[in-house]
């Protein structure tokens, strides 16, 4: 089988995805005309096979996730997507059919989130598939929603539901008889456990949880409402407890969360009924890609209303308080603190 | 030995390199206020250990090269550097001393080229060290120098000297008794050959060639002069012959190059005296990171003068002509064409 050259590969699979500034991917660089009165917001995320996704995840899912985790960062900053650049390191065994499915999935995700391809680089990997995406967004000048601006008295709100992706990852690992991507130190025992509680779930619930692991849903519809109402925000990618701790440390404040207010899907509730101990995984597991924000009390109602109009669920889960230290989660009468690094891909 | 968390690692080694828009690397994203009347120029390059550099290259050299190849793309577009984002996938065996040296080299290169760190992501690698850098530059609105704008009659010019890095790569591989990074298909025989012609070089010549492989010198000083005088430009990263072919294909034109006008360092000349067959490697080997440009005849003199003021050597090596097909190199009375893909990392 003859292999495509890098130029042919780009022309066949990626040039059709290029936005206006991408110049058909036929130049060394992309060009952007920033709009007057806007700031550019920039974020980069790298994903490696076996660490952030399973090597045999569907290629379209890998593409959607790689772009989605970046667009989620933009959404949390109140930014509207502008475009992205892709770095793709392909392992020796790549095939054209894999690449075609990857490019198709990438194009669909880029269309869904109005975030066109602007440029890229394709190289041979030393090891497994590795992806790097740099995403660009824009906000009105000076309006990027920062992580470290929360103040005592702010209400903590979260979009969507929490814990689904972490549960879905366990189910996917168990279903495939595979080791978990290596960031999850709980290892093979956790996979065996997933066999037990997973059996208590309906097929639809299992599918829901795995889908949430494979396909992040960046909350870009919330951008303008966040800019208008939130004091601070970040996306939850490394677990609610750990990311809330980061936000409070950067803000110089502390937090109290009412555990029973943390929004859970029906599938996650079913899993918790089968194994109440999963609450730790729900609160510390990663890959949620929901938005955590700190909102002045008088802005909670307008933010919730605008989120509803945008089709994004929003729940108030606690409060920013003066002080320092790890956030407190009130769960069934107990006060829990989750040590930093309870979940990390690194 | 305890391992740093990702947050501690970023705070210790990378936050000190952050430019204004990097927000101390304490947020999910960076923010840029584009200057009025400017376009942003964006480029991404990925580098993998064993493909683009040797795993035991000095960490500061790896850092300088990773940033340099991106800044070189900006320079070729006539863009002034604005900043960069770093994706870093670290293999299992990373050490703090390696990382400290890498960060120091990165900071020095960023300072040299006025291209501060704006953001990044650090993950575990699946395999060897893999780096992805996205660099941003700016040009006056509408003034990015494109690759595909060359026209018949333009003079082809090149900065610096050609072939040094390809020769340096061979010497480095031979000196280390290592396989060449896998993009070079010439393999172990070429390494043995390097032992023969390398022995004919002075120690200073050998050092010069290896240094050119390790440390690209992006020609950013040429930015304004290129914008003012060149019709088309690109950086030479995959070999002069192959990159010239790309420029001509994108421009819909052909080219004739006078081989004896291609600028060579004293060290490269010494190598060619020892083995005249190395001319193919000089013209097709990669990693030059010089700028190839197509210049209207009446602009050659002002461009050469401004390049000289900026301390960048510039040589006229040939001409753009009507037609299509691979560029012709006139070498010692013969006409040579170098097939595409004679050098490729992919």
Mean pLDDT of B181-197: 63
Dihedral sign computed on CA atoms, order B105, B109, B111, B115:
negative
State pLDDT tens for residues B200-258: 999 999 999 999 999 999 999 999 999 999 999 999 999 999 999 999 999 999 999 99
How do strand A328-331 and strand A254-258 relate by DSSP bridges?
Answer: parallel
Supply the pLDDT for residue B335.
96
The pLDDT of residue A181 is: 59
The alpha-carbon gap from B34 to the nearest alpha carbon of chain A, in Å, equals: 7
Query: Phi, psi (5° rounding) for residue B182?
Result: -65, -15
Measured CA angle at A110 (ends B134, A267), to 5 deg: 110
pLDDT given at position A183: 46
pLDDT at residue B180 greater than cutoff 60 = no
In our burial notation (b when 16+ CB lie closer than 10 A, e otherwise), range A77-102 reads bbbbbbbbbbbbbbbeebeeebbebb
- The yes-or-no verdict on residue B337 having pLDDT over 80 is yes
pLDDT for residue A26: 82
Residue B119 burial (CB count, 10 A):
28
Structure-derived torsion over alpha carbons of residues A132, B19, A251, B7, reported in degrees to the nearest 10? 50
B84-104 average pLDDT score: 94
Distance from CA of B203 to the nearest CA of A (A): 32
Cβ <8 Å between A73 and B28: yes
Residue B185: pLDDT band with limits 50, 70, 90: very low
**Mean pLDDT over the full length of chain B:** 91
Q: What is the structure's pLDDT at B25?
A: 80
Tell me whether B6 touches chain A (CB under 8 Å): yes
Q: Does B23 have pLDDT greater than 70?
A: yes
H/E element holding A293? strand A290-295
Nearest to B218 by CA among B81, B24, B18: B81
Reply yes or no on whether the pLDDT at B342 is more than 70.
Answer: no
Nearest C-alpha neighbor of B131 from the set B54, B45, B59, B216: B45
**Alpha-carbon gap, residue B191 to A143, rounded angstroms:** 56
Q: Comparing B182 with B71, which gets the higher pLDDT?
A: B71
Residue A187: HSE in the Cβ half-sphere, 13 Å Cα cutoff? 2
Q: Does A2 reach chain B within 8 Å, measured CB to CB?
A: no
B191 pLDDT tier (thresholds 50, 70, 90): low
Decide: A146 and B27 in contact? Cβ < 8 Å.
yes
pLDDT higher than 70, residue B184: no
Q: Looking at CA atoms only, how far is residue A161 from chain B in angstroms?
A: 21
Which residue, among A278, A266, A279, has the nearest Cα to A193 in the 3D structure? A278
Q: Which two tokens stand for residue B201?
A: 């070089």
Query: Is A205 in the B-facing interface, judged by CB distances under 8 Å?
Result: no
Q: Would you tell me which residues 51-80 of chain A have a C-beta closer than 8 angstroms to some C-beta of chain B?
A: 51-52, 73-74, 76-77, 79
Interface contact B87-A250, CB threshold 8 A: no
B274 band by pLDDT with thresholds 50, 70 and 90: very high
Nearest by CB: B125 against A48, A119, A121: A48
8 Å CB contact between A183 and A343: yes
Over residues B286-294, the mean pLDDT reads: 96
Which residue positions in chain A have pLDDT lower than 70?
1-3, 176-192, 340-346
Tell me whether 0.85 is exceeded by the ipTM. Answer: yes
Tokens 């299509």 -> residue? B324
Res B178: pLDDT: 60
Determine the Cα–Cα distance for residues B49 and A273; give it in Å rounded to an integer.
47
- Residues of chain A in contact with residue B126, where contact means CB-CB under 8 angstroms, are 48-51, 127-130
Question: How many angstroms separate the CA of residue A259 from the nearest CA in chain B?
Answer: 25
pTM: 0.92
Cβ distance of A28 and B77 shorter than 8 Å: yes
pLDDT at A20: 79
Q: Are B257 and B318 in contact (CB under 8 A)?
A: yes
DSSP B115: -
Question: Cβ of A86 and B44 within 8 Å?
Answer: yes
What is the pLDDT confidence band of residue B17, given thresholds at 50, 70 and 90? confident
Residue A149's closest CA among A251, A38, A272?
A: A251
Among A82-96, B87-101, B184-198, the range scoring the smallest mean pLDDT is B184-198
What pLDDT is stored for residue B154 in this prediction? 98
Give percent of chain B with pLDDT exceeding 70.
92
Which positions in chain A touch B251 (Cβ < 8 Å)?
A: none
Residues of B in contact with A48 (CB under 8 A): 89, 123-126, 130
Q: Which of residues 13-52 of B touch A (CB under 8 A)?
A: 21, 23, 26-34, 36, 38-52
Chain A contacts of B134, Cβ < 8 Å? 44, 85, 87, 134
Residue A338 corresponds to which tokens in the numbers above? Answer: 């989750």
């Amino acid at each position: 089988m003859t292999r495509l050259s890098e130029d042919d590969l780009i022309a066949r699979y990626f040039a059709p995805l290029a936005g206006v500034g991408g110049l058909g991917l036929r130049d060394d660089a992309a060009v952007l005309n920033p709009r007057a009165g806007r700031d550019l917001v920039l974020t980069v995320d790298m994903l490696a096979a076996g660490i952030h996704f399973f090597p045999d995840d569907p290629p379209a899912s890998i593409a959607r996730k790689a772009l989605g985790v970046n667009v989620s960062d933009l959404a949390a900053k109140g930014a509207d997507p502008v475009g992205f650049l892709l770095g793709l390191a392909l392992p020796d065994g790549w095939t054209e059919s894999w690449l075609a499915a990857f490019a198709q999935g990438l194009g669909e995700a880029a269309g869904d989130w109005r975030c066109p391809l602007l440029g890229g680089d394709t190289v041979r990997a030393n090891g497994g598939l590795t992806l790097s995406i740099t995403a660009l967004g824009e906000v009105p000048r000076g309006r990027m929603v920062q992580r470290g601006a929360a103040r005592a008295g702010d209400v903590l709100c979260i979009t969507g539901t929490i814990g689904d992706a972490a549960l879905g990852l366990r189910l996917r690992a168990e279903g495939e008889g595979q080791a978990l991507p290596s960031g999850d130190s709980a290892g093979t025992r956790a996979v065996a456990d997933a066999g037990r509680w997973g059996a208590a779930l309906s097929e639809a619930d299992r599918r829901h949880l795995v889908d949430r692991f494979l396909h992040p849903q960046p909350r870009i519809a919330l951008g303008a409402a966040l800019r208008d109402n939130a004091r601070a925000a970040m996306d939850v990618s490394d677990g609610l407890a750990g990311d809330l701790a980061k936000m409070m440390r950067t803000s110089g404040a502390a937090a109290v969360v009412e555990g029973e207010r943390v929004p859970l899907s029906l599938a996650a509730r079913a899993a918790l009924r089968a194994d109440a101990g999963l609450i730790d995984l729900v609160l510390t597991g990663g890959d949620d890609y929901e938005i955590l924000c700190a909102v002045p009390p008088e802005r909670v109602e307008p933010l919730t209303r605008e989120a509803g109009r945008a089709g994004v669920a929003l729940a108030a889960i606690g409060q920013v308080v003066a002080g320092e230290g790890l956030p407190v989660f009130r769960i069934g009468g107990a006060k829990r603190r989750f040590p930093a690094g309870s979940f990390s891909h690194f």
